[in-house]
Structure formats: C-alpha cells, structure tokens
Amino acid sequence: MKCKSESQLLSEDVVIDVLTRLSVKSLLRFRCVCKHWYSLIINSRFITNHLHQSSNSARLLVYHYTTTAEKNIIFSLFLDETLASFLLLHYDFDDVQVPNELGMLGSFNGILGLWHWDRIALWNLATREFRKVLMPKPHLPSHFYVYHCYYGLGLDPATTDYKVVLIRNYWDREKNDPYFPRVVTVYNLFTDSWRLFEDSSPSSFVYESSSNTYMNGLYYWLTNDDTNQFYAILSFDMRNEVFRHVPGLPNLSQMECGVVVMYIDSIALIYFDRQKAEKHFDIWVMEEYGCWTKQLTIGPLLDVEWPLGFWKNGELFLKTGTEDLVLYDQNTREIKNLQHHECDIFMYKESLVSVSGENKGREGEDRSNMARLKDSLPFHPRGTQKISNG
C-alpha cells in the first residue's frame, strides 16, 4: 500500500477516522506503511482520540498471577462478558519469588501500574512497553519500616503528564507507634523523576481504593475525619499536587465498612456492615465535588463478603467468603460465579500511550543515575525535592 495512492482516494480526516477505530495491534503494524502514517499514529492528539474512540470500549482486567521457572506472569482478560484465554507475559522483576510479592496499583488509559517493595513498573499491556522505576528511599532510622503503601495513578490535565502518587506509612519500632508525617512522593513519567514533600493532609489513615479512582485530575481515597470516628474522602490534585478532604459526606461510622469505587462516571462510596450474614450495600455517589447523594441500596445478599466495583451496566463485582469472584445483576437479581479465585479487578482500555516518557531508549543510564540518587532524600522532608534520572 502506498500513502500517495491512499491520499489521492481519501481525505486526511477520513484516513484518521478509520485508523482511530483500529486495534493497537493493527496500528503498531500500520506504523510501518509509510512515514506519513507513522507520524499520524505517534501523534499525541491521535493517541488521545484513539483512546476515547467509542469502539475502544472498557474491558475488565481480572488480575491474578502465579510465578513460574521462566519468570512469567499470568493475567486473564475479561472481554465482552466472555472470559478470554489466559495471557502469558514475561515480566522484568527478577527477584519475585512468591505470590503476593507483586501487586497492581491500578490501570489508567491503558497503563498498568505494578509494584514490588522498592520499585514500581509502568506497563502498556497492548504495546508491551515496560518500564521499571526505583522508588526514592528517605533517610529514616533503621528501626523505621514501611507497613503500608497507597498509590494513585492518573493524569495531570495541565501538562498531560502521567503521575504516580505514593503514600508510605512508616512504623517506629522503638515507640511501637506509626510515624507521622507520612512520606509522600510523586513520580512524573515525562521527566522520569520523583519529588518528595511533607504530607499536609490531616487524616491519620488511608484505605486502599478498590479500583483506580481517578476523575478529572483528582485521585480519591477513603480515609477518616479529624475525630477518627467517621469516614471521609481524601483527594489528591494531580495538577497542583495538594491533598484535600472532600466535604459533604454524611457521618458514616467506621464501625461498618466503606469502599471507594467508580460508579458509571462518578466517584462513589459503598457502605455496608461486614459482620452481617445478609448484606445490604448502600451506594453514595458524588454527583458534583462535595455533593453526595444516596443513589441506591443493593441487597440483601447472602454468601458475599466484599464489593470490588461496578461494571458497565451497573452490575456489581463481589468477593465471596471463599475468595471467588462473582457478578451481581441488579435487574435480574442474579449472582454469576466468574470462576476466578483470589483475584482483583481493574477497568482497562487499550491505548497507544507510551510509558517511555522523554527518556525512551536510555534505560541503562536511567538505572545507573537512580542507583546513585535513590538514597539522597532527607530524614525530615521540607518543601519539594526533585530527583532527576538524567
């Protein structure tokens, strides 16, 4: 196929419209057709249009992995209500020995975030790009250790840069108490750099999000209010890099359980009593920033333990007491066992988004520079520091 012949038959707009409807696999091949198509397909505007094309519908990534002698990771992908065959993919964490050492921190715009103790990795499942990133290590006494990490993966709408916010809770063995302030660092993909700043959020505990709870430049976690008795919502602004408590959530007691999820195109809180055999799940939706409405109640449901998130038409994913993944349909009130055990779920869309940033092709140099700089953070962070990988 020659680009000149194609351009004489079709207008540029038509060519672009057709290309944006194709799969990532096809587009990676079509980059080799000619220089013109190559420049079209790697263009940031084309990548954005392809990502949001209606034909590129959301999929469910069922995350469960096992290790093998060949150091492979096994994912299963849930496509259009049909379980696809397992994907067997090589990964680049060379010292993972047992399950639960490798976790997923989220999926956003086709990028999967993985973590393993002292590093994270950004992985585009469709293009097979994989990038390891060492996490900065603050200077803390040896009797301090990390007892929990929380992540947020999202986009800075001002710069279109992808960011990872990392919140680490440290425990002081000598005092047998948590250490405050928490250590907060932010990673920028474009510059391949970390920044450290003192945690100014007033809450004392943060709960993991059940799915990637990013929306309009903000990432959301469930947390507690100043009294440590009721739930609150903590947001992180990817543009300004500041934490805020989201107002307006009713006084929902921490004596019961809460999970922050995405509900259609809104941030939502699922509130329930885990101790009851028959469970009712109250769904609170944030229709506008700080404006919460109780949308619906699902239940009573038997033999379920924990909500994981919503699917396209409002179906609710749940875990049973035996760690089975099930799907509850609100319309038919039926529960379908999806034949997966001990797994997590994430919404996933194919994309051409590169995880290389601006330093593509310099992995050896990046690792060398990061090794020299990873221990350079101060004991008491003040203001903002930038650690550049070259």
Both 253 and 186 in one domain: the answer is yes
Confirm whether 369 is domain-assigned.
Answer: no
Same domain, 106 and 195: yes
| Structural domain span for residue 256 | 59-348
Residues 306 and 189 in one domain: yes
pTM: 0.82
Q: What is the mean pLDDT of residues 89-102?
A: 53
CATH number for the domain that contains residue 96: 2.120.10.80
51 and 86 assigned to the same domain: no
The stretch 196-215 carries a mean pLDDT of 75
Cα separation, 134 vs 369, in Å, equals 11
Q: What pLDDT score was predicted for residue 4?
A: 56
Average of per-residue pLDDT across 26-34: 90
Number of domains in the chain: 2
Same-domain check for residues 35 and 168: no
**Residue at 280: amino acid letter:** H
Name beta bridge partners: 120: 115, 133
Residue among 226, 233, 186 nearest 206 (CA): 233
Q: Are residues 5 and 65 in the same domain?
A: no
Residue 274 is assigned to a structural domain of this protein: yes
In terms of domains, do 52 and 63 share one? Answer: no
pLDDT of residue 217: 95
Residue 158, pLDDT score: 94
355 domain-assigned? no
Query: What percentage of the chain reaches a pLDDT higher than 90?
Result: 35
pLDDT digits (tens, 9 = 90+) for 7-26: 456 788 888 899 999 999 99
Does residue 210 or residue 350 have the better pLDDT? Answer: 350
Length of the chain: 390
Identify the pLDDT of residue 280: 95
Same-domain pairing of 1 and 70: no
Query: Residue 82 pLDDT > 70, yes or no?
Result: no
> Mind listing the pLDDT tens digit for each residue in 104-142?
778 899 998 888 767 788 888 888 888 888 888 888 888
Indicate if 13 and 152 belong to the same structural domain.
no
- Whether the CB-CB separation of 77 and 118 falls below 8 Å is answered with no
Looking at the fold, whether 214 and 160 belong to one and the same domain comes out as yes
Q: Say whether pLDDT at 72 is over 70.
A: no
**283 lies in a domain?**
yes
From 159, 218, 163, 217, select the one nearest 192 (Cα to Cα): 163
Nearest to 166 by CA among 182, 149, 179: 149
- Write out pLDDT tens, residues 206-238: 887 777 899 999 999 998 887 878 999 999 999
- How far apart CA 138 and CA 20 sit, in angstroms, is 44
73/357: higher pLDDT = 357
In a 3-state reduction of DSSP, which class is residue 111?
A: strand
Query: Does residue 167 fall inside a structural domain?
Result: yes
The predicted pLDDT at position 381 comes to 29
pLDDT in tens, 277-291: 999 999 999 998 989
- Asked if 50 and 12 sit in the same domain, the reply is yes
CA-closest candidate to residue 373, choices 117, 135, 121: 135
166 domain-assigned = yes
Based on the domain organization, do 143 and 29 belong to the same domain? no
pLDDT tens digits for 236-251? 999 999 888 898 899 9
Range among 2-6, 347-351, 372-376, 377-381 rated most confident? 347-351
Classify residue 170: in a domain, yes or no: yes
Report the C-alpha gap between 101 and 371 in whole angstroms: 22
- Does any domain span residue 141? yes
